[in-house]
Amino acid sequence: MFDIITKFLIMKFHVHYVNKMSAIRSTPKKSSGKNSLFIVGGVIALGAIILFAYLMWYVAPEENIELVKVVAVTDKGCIAETLDGYSVNIGECQAQPGQYIDAPVDKKAKERAAMMNPTS
């Protein structure tokens, strides 16, 4: 009788163990591609945000009104020189060469010019 109960318990445990194991899939689950789509979308969005931040921080003009000396008047506007020696195009003006006027000067353009010519 003890032998029968032992076999029964072993059989029941084995069936229970096999049922638990059958819940684990042996074949890998196929991905629907949504995860990779979200990853690619996230990378593109991150790149766009970084590009936007770069453009706003380094390229967008930051104009200050400065006293400049008009050097020449051309078809594309007046060329002037700031008091610290940078040439700038200030657009249309009603001044003659040699006159000092207040004009908007892009501060970031001056910074970029200084980086291109480190001897100044």
**Tokens at residue 89, please?**
């195009």
Q: Distance from CA of residue 64 to its chain's centroid? A: 27
pLDDT reading at 9 higher than 90? no
Kind and range of the H or E element at 106? strand 100-106
CB neighbour class for 78 (10 Å; exposed up to 12, middle 13-18, buried from 19) = buried
CATH code: domain 63-116 is 2.40.50
Per-residue pLDDT at 80: 94
Mean per-residue pLDDT, 64-85: 92
**Tokens at residue 102, please?**
């207040």
- Whole-model pTM: value is 0.52
Per-residue pLDDT at 2: 59
CB neighbour class for 118 (10 Å; exposed up to 12, middle 13-18, buried from 19) = exposed
Spans of all domains in the chain:
32-61, 63-116
Strand residues in 53-99 grouped as ranges (E): 63-74, 77-82, 87-91
Distance (Å) of CA 64 to CA 58, 68, 102, 109, 111: 16, 11, 10, 11, 13
